[in-house]
Chains A and B, each alone.
Chain A
Amino acid sequence: MLRTALRNVLAHKARLLMTVLAVMLGVAFVAGTLVFTNTISDAYQKSSQKGYEGVDVAITPDKKDDDSANPGDAPRLSQRLLDQAAKSPGAASAFGVVKGSSALADKKGDLLGSGFSNLAGNYYPGADGKDPRYTMTEGRAPKAAGEVALDSKTAERGHYKAGDSIRVSVDGPVRTEKVVGVFTTDDGTVAAGGTLALYDTATAQKLFGKPGQFDEIDVKAAAGTSQSTLKSSIDKILPEQAKATTAKKLAKDQAKVIEEGMSSMQTAMLVFAGIALFVGIFIIVNTFSMLVAQRTRELALMRAVGATRRQVTRSVLIEATVVGAVAAVVGLAAGVGIGAVLRSALNSTGANVPDGPLIVAPTTVLASVVVGVVVTVLSAWLPGRRAAKIPPVAAMNSVHAAPTTRGLVVRNTIGAILAAAGIALVVAGAGMGGDGEGPMAFGAAVLVIGVFVLTPLLSRPLIAAAGPVLRIFGMPGKLARQNAVRNPRRTAATASALMVGLTLITGMTVIAGSMQKGIDKMAADGLRSDYVVSMGGGSGGSGRPLSPEVSKTLAKLPEVTTISPLRSSPARVAGDSDSLTGVDPKAIKDLVKVDFTEGSFAALGAPRPSSTTRSPTRTTGRSAPPSR
């Protein structure tokens, strides 16, 4: 039995190739997705872990959730706390971290790095005069204002070396600093293509916060002291709005964040894999149906000499298993390739993924093989059942009785019911307005399935409609028409794979088109201005205010007619935490569209001079300006 199935696979290699390709494609997508996401998250996790190597407990400002008395961020950490932490029992040393962002220009004046990850920090020399987080490879660490050190990748990209001067933008006007050193770091963002500029601690504090304050205090444990012991001793000295976390937990949390970030990407990619497999199902069903029809006599002979129905079905399923397994293995290999290609593609877009090995996890292998085999076997199940229904006498008759139209009656009925239910749901959903989305989506899905089921019925009139075109081809055209009409089931099966593909493509085009329109409309609704200028630089960068010079410089440009600075600040309004946005009251009405339910822009800023952009002004109507 097994032997017969295996021989059949070998005998029909060419025909099965289509199936192998279809399954392989789907499996390759699945495996590629898994390899890619695993590789990336592994690389990020390793690099984030490395980042915590010199740290045992980190103290960070902590904003309590229910703290409505103090809107905005929690205060930064003081030098006093740093000194206390360094002296607390179990601590070997402590260093203060200042975080910020600095956009660095290359020698042509263009931004270095991808724009969302232009980091800046402080070099905090320890007892030995070195900061354990950074290893200087060239020059020396920054010691005074006007000095900056760059990470080696950025230095290389910008062709900077110690002694050069570099244009740097922090809060305020563009500054020109002197590059005094180049260093290497394990920082994950830098490994991922970001830039990192280091200043001496005092300068960093001046640039990014208030002097003498830190964003984070990292404490190293003395030999023999565990992270949790150190944490509990530090907990005792913490001010109210600060918390201590062990490095282990930080690494774990970061890993989780990375995992979550990856999982949404993974889901999106797996949807594509699912679609590929879904199309593949039609191809598999079709191929195996053809194989079964072609082998009617062989299968009937097997039945005649004593194979039970179940054995015949099983032999088809064994074939499917072999094909699925081969396809899965090839697909897995292709998937590993896809994963590697995706990573280098991602790197070439500038977002450098930290280096790391290509991860082919056991789950990836398992998932690929299971997906490949299960999909193939399930798809071959129906043709396998059909094979079992071949009567043994078919071995003797040259033509096996064609499938009767009786089966189509059942099929058409089911299809008609599905289609009708689908239409009813869509109509009902459309009538329900906003709440109707669910029924409408469900109805649409049901309608699509109904149409698929009805394809054999629909094929006749559609082929008839194509008659005039076919007539041009004379006899071959006539034969083609008759062949297509003769077995509507077969015609439908062949058409289905194409139908799914086209349905998906049109569906996606419509979705993308609608979304684009929706976004355009939303943007046009909320915003009248032509440009929005904001600060670049991701973590720590976005949301930071632009220098006041920027708006003054822009206002002087002849092309600019109206301009309003815009600054948000957290605030407590009538007991609730809220956000206030300060704007130029004269200009803002021309720049954003706000639907007032009460009041107007007119009253805004009337009694005050309009140039006070830094003092928060509350919009009279309750409405938020468009987000950038």
Chain B
Amino acid sequence: MTTMPLGVKTTAHSTGAAARATDLSKVYGEGETQVIALDSVSVEFRQAEFTAIMGPSGSGKSTLMHCMAGLDTISSGSARIGDVELTTLKDKKLTQLRRDKIGFIFQAFNLLPTLNALENITLPMDIAGRKADQAWLDQVVATVGLAGRLKHRPNQLSGGQQQRVAVARALAGQPEIIFADEPTGNLDSRSGAEVLGFLRNSVRELGQTIVMVTHDPVAASYSDRVVFLADGRIVDELRSPTADSVLDRMKRFDAKGRTS
């Protein structure tokens, strides 16, 4: 695994919460078609921690991420990034917060097809009208192993390479927190391992905060902590997970789900 010495980011209060949800609820639709995607979720993502969110399909993992990242509105409760309460922000401030403080890696369709890899990486900075920190950018690019591919368009890159571009984009802006929704869902195990290893290193060595949704116990084992979600509620939590211990927990939920 690549363990390049990345410049350690100084985080003043490395034990504080990078993001926190309190009694967060998200309801889609009305009347008969109403779906409670999140039901009073309270969860905290600490700084410089790699958190995995797991749970069955439809349990609200993506919804939680979107709400925490300011991509979607919430129905009730509170969502904070650092000290900023998202529910009170107007669209413009919320957009700037996403731009400056949050990084994203989605399961697919992370990149603008018309821009090349480098342009995609620097997109948030271009939007902000800021110049990228060249030394940092070079390090990020070297670390994700894309140095020779920067001039390629997304459709000229493999799925794994595209995800690594997305990782680089998320890291390049040095955001306070990175949200990743099944970042390795489309990758083979080798490329997946590369991306995950890289995410873990950025947490260990750079003090980056990452929240990742995954279905894969092996992917979850790269994290420091796993939060289990079911039917829009947090049902369990696991520290220092291994693939086996995660699988074990998941089996337990399955059994519980069937008996209850």
A→B interface (CB under 8 Å): 1, 3-4, 7-8, 10-11, 297-298, 301-309, 311, 391-393, 395-396
Chain B contacts of A303 at CB under 8 A? 95
A32–B162 Cα distance when bound, in Å, is 50
Q: Are A11 and B126 in contact (CB under 8 A)?
A: no
Q: Main SS of chain A's interface residues? A: helix
Q: Hey, which chain B residues are within 8 Å of A391, CB to CB? A: 71-72
* Residues in B neighbouring A1, C-beta threshold 8 A: 126-127
- Please provide the chain B residues from 89 to 130 with a CB less than 8 Å away from any CB of chain A in the complex: 91-92, 95-96, 98-100, 104, 106-107, 109-115, 119, 123-124, 126-128
| Smallest CB separation, B85 vs chain A (Å) | 18
CB <8 Å contact, A8 and B106 = no
Knowing A305-B104, A392-B98, say if A3 contacts B127 (CB, 8 Å): no
Residues B124 and A305 in contact, CB atoms below 8 Å apart: yes
What residue in chain A is nearest B116 (Cβ atoms)? A7
- How far apart sit A392 and B71, CA to CA, in the bound complex (Å)? 6
**Bound complex: CA of A396 vs CA of B110, how far in Å?**
9
For the complex, give the distance between the alpha carbons of A311 and B114 in Å.
17
Q: A3-B115, A4-B114 are in contact. Are A306 and B106 (CB under 8 A)?
A: no
How far is A301 from B91 in the complex, measured between Cα atoms in Å?
Answer: 15
Q: Give A310's nearest chain B residue, CB to CB.
A: B92
User: Is the beta-carbon distance between A308 and B96 smaller than 8 angstroms?
Assistant: yes
Residues of A contacting B127 in the complex (Cβ-Cβ under 8 angstroms): 1, 302, 305-307, 311
What would 10 more interface pairs be, CB under 8 Å, given A302-B112, A308-B95? A4-B114, A4-B115, A301-B111, A304-B98, A305-B123, A306-B127, A308-B92, A393-B71, A396-B107, A396-B181
Q: Is the interface of B mostly helix, strand, loop or mixed?
A: helix
B145 to chain A, nearest CB (A): 22
Within 8 A of A (CB), among B38-76: 62, 66, 71-72
The docked-state distance in angstroms from the alpha carbon of A392 to that of B98 is: 10
Instruction: Say yes or no: is B80 at the interface (Cβ < 8 Å to chain A).
Output: no
Q: Are B106 and A395 in contact (CB under 8 A)?
A: yes
Nearest CB in chain B to that of A308: its residue:
B95
Tell me whether A309 and B66 are in contact in the complex, defined as CB-CB below 8 angstroms, given that A297-B109, A302-B112, A393-B71 are known contacts.
no
Instruction: Look across to chain A and name the residue whose beta carbon is closest to the beta carbon of B104.
Output: A304
Q: Which B residue's beta carbon lies closest to that of A315?
A: B127
Question: Complex Cα distance A393/B107, Å?
Answer: 13
From known contacts A305-B169, A306-B124, A395-B106, infer whether A4 and B112 are also in contact, taking CB-CB under 8 Å.
yes
Residues of A within 8 A of B181 (CB): 396
Q: Known contacts A307-B127, A393-B66, A396-B106; is A298 also within 8 Å of B99 by CB? A: no
State in angstroms the CA–CA spacing of A7 and B113 once bound together. Answer: 9
Q: Given the complex, which residues of B lie within 8 Å of A302, measured CB to CB? A: 112, 123, 127
Q: In the complex, which residue of chain A has the Cβ closest to the Cβ of B129?
A: A1
Contact between A8 and B114, CB atoms less than 8 A apart: yes
Determine which of A8, A297, A298, A304 lies in contact with B71 in the assembled complex, contact meaning CB atoms within 8 Å.
A304
For residue A301, which residues in chain B have a CB less than 8 angstroms away from its CB?
109-112
Instruction: Sample 23 A-B pairs with CB under 8 A, ordered by A number.
Output: A3-B119, A4-B115, A4-B123, A7-B112, A7-B114, A11-B113, A11-B114, A297-B109, A298-B114, A301-B111, A302-B112, A306-B95, A306-B99, A306-B100, A306-B124, A306-B128, A307-B95, A308-B95, A311-B127, A392-B98, A393-B71, A393-B72, A396-B62
Residues of chain B contacted by A11 (CB below 8 angstroms) = 113-114
Chain B residue at minimal CB-CB distance from A12: B114
Closest to B128 in A: A306
B110 to chain A, nearest CB (A): 7
Q: Across the interface, which residues of B come within 8 angstroms of A311, CB to CB?
A: 127
- List of 8 A-B pairs having minimum Cβ-Cβ separation, nearest first: A306-B99, A7-B114, A392-B71, A11-B114, A305-B124, A393-B72, A308-B95, A307-B127
A519 to B134, CA, bound (A): 79
- A298-B95 Cα distance, complex, nearest whole Å: 16
Q: How far is the CA of A437 from the CA of B91 in the complex (A)?
A: 51
Question: Within the complex, what minimum Cβ distance (angstroms) separates B28 from chain A?
Answer: 11
Among the interface residues B115, B124, B127, which one has the most CB atoms of the partner chain A within 10 A? B127
* A396 CA / B123 CA spacing, docked (Å): 18
Closest-CB distance, B189 to chain A (whole angstroms): 24
Chain B residues whose CB sits within 8 angstroms of the CB of A395 once the complex forms:
71, 106, 109
Q: In the assembly, what is the distance between CA of A10 and CA of B104, in Å?
A: 27
Q: Which chain B positions have C-beta within 8 A of A306?
A: 95-96, 98-100, 124, 127-128
Q: Residues of B contacting A4 with CB < 8 Å?
A: 112, 114-115, 123, 126
A229 to B66, CA, bound (A): 88
Q: Which of A10, A305, A307, A309 has most B Cβ within 10 Å?
A: A305
Smallest CB gap from B92: residue in A: A308
Give min CB distance, B112 to chain A, whole Å.
6
| Contact call A10/B114, Cβ cutoff below 8 A | yes
Q: Which residue of A has the minimal Cβ distance to B95?
A: A308
Q: Are B104 and A7 in contact (CB under 8 A)?
A: no
Chain B nearest CB from A15 CB (Å) reads: 13
Closest to B101 in A: A306
Set of chain B residues within 8 Å of A393, measured between Cβ atoms: 66, 71-72
- Chain A min CB distance to B137 (Å): 16
Interchain nearest-CB distance for A5 vs B (Å): 10
Q: CB < 8 Å: which of A8, A298, A304, A309 contacts B91?
A: A309
Which residues in B have their C-beta under 8 angstroms from that of A396? Answer: 62, 66, 71, 106-107, 181
B contact residues around A309 at 8 Å (CB) = 91-92, 95
